[in-house]
Amino acid sequence: MSDKTIAPCRPKWKGTMTDRERFNRQMHYRPVDRCFNMEFGYWEENFSSWDIFTKNNITNNWEADRFFNFDRIGCAGGALWLSPGFEEKVISETATTRVLMNGDGLLAEVPRDGHDTIPHYMKASVTTPADWKRVKAERMRRDDPARRIDVEAVKKANPPDRDYPLGIWCGSMIGKIRDMLTFEGLAYATYDYPDMVEDMVETCCLLVEDSLDQLLPHIDFDYAASWEDICFKNGPIVSVDFFKNVITPRYKRIHAKLRWHGIDLWYTDCDGDVRPILPHLLEGGINCLFPFEVNGCAHPAEIFKQYGRELRIMGGVDKLELGKGPKAIKAYLETLVPLVERGGFIPFCDHRCPPNVKPSDYLYYLDLKERMFGMK
């Protein structure tokens, strides 16, 4: 977040509902005044290469949301991962790269100039059950004071009469474990050390449950949010059986707490092709996909045709089409009109908007979205 004043570059879309009313009705297939208007943010490079950002001193996604005057959406939760994290430090440098120790205990090689790219992970701090036992005792304690939530502060920041939707953060059952072990390390560990991986999942689940128990009795949340990112374009990096037998039962436990407190919308952020595990996400209570990468999976219409109103999608605007100019942008958005009209779908770029998209084309996209999906 930022303390500086952000002057919006465009008016907020006209509407007759609050953002909270609109979001809840749209995600429950009920009539709305117009589509909920949001985006998922931008690559770090955009803030130094897009003139619309540099000229207006917009330096991060929080500021960009206010600059473009999107509908407001919030999320609150506790500390659900390593506490403390590993010390982040530079291990070595060359003329073009740096080797860093990151907060998840990974040695990662990154470009020295800092441009956005997927790091080359070189070594994990957790590779054996003995490593995990040590890290669990030192950094995943349920009784860590850092895991106590200042409930009154959350209530004060998000009053009952707020006009925006508020989500409760449900963390990750397997995605953060992937961050700790690496993609390859997790794939091997599910076969070499299945009991270790299941204990890691169980520990993550317990931390989420503890957080929910602190917040749910005191705040009226509108949705739940999670993050996994365990799929490539060819599907998940763990077997479907592992996901069904180890991950889904933990989702069910979390979902039971959410439903007890009236929360029936739960999204997870997972890129790639989620279709092999989608039935098990739904079985566990996750009924919304975010940000739904089109090229890694499918057009949203294809998934809706199969799952109907059991599913919701947030995202699904192909970022590759945004880079092709106005004609392609218009053609793609036209394919989404029936989905917005049926409900259960909020369209936005299917990941952070990349820097190859021209600022003028992005503004065209935002204008076209309003003409197509704004209040008539």
Share of the chain above pLDDT 70, in %: 99
pLDDT tens digit sequence for 42-58: 999 999 999 999 999 99
Where does the pLDDT of residue 269 fall: very low under 50, low under 70, confident under 90, or very high at 90 and above? very high
pLDDT over 80 at 115, yes or no: no
Q: What is the mean pLDDT of residues 142-157?
A: 98
pLDDT value at position 113? 83
Q: What angle do CA 136, 141, 146 make, to 5 degrees?
A: 135
pLDDT tens digit sequence for 344-360: 999 999 999 999 999 99
pLDDT value at position 295? 93
- The strand pair at 266-269 and 288-290 is best described as parallel
Alpha helices in the chain (DSSP H): 19-27, 46-49, 51-54, 61-67, 129-139, 151-157, 175-181, 183-192, 194-215, 240-242, 248-260, 278-284, 300-307, 319-322, 326-342, 359-373
Say what the pTM is: 0.95
Closest to 278 in 3D by CA, of 308, 257, 318, 320: 308
pLDDT value at position 121? 84
Q: What angle do CA 154, 166, 14 make, to 5 degrees?
A: 130
As a whole number of angstroms, the distance between CA 134 and CA 353 comes to 39
Inter-residue contact 68 to 9 (CB < 8 Å): yes
Phi, psi of 313 (to 5 degrees): -135, 135
DSSP string covering 6-68, please?
Answer: ---SSPPPP-SS-HHHHHHHHHTT---SS-------B-TTHHHH-HHHHTTT--SHHHHHHHT
293 secondary structure, DSSP code: -
* CATH class of the 19-85+125-373 domain in this structure: alpha beta
The overall average pLDDT reported for the chain is 96
As a whole number of angstroms, the distance between CA 85 and CA 288 comes to 30
CA distances from 221 to 77, 155, 160, 174 (A): 11, 11, 9, 24
Per domain, the residue ranges of the chain are 19-85+125-373, 87-124
pLDDT value at position 35? 98
pLDDT tens digit sequence for 70-109: 999 999 999 999 999 999 999 999 999 999 999 999 998 9
SS3 state at 124: strand
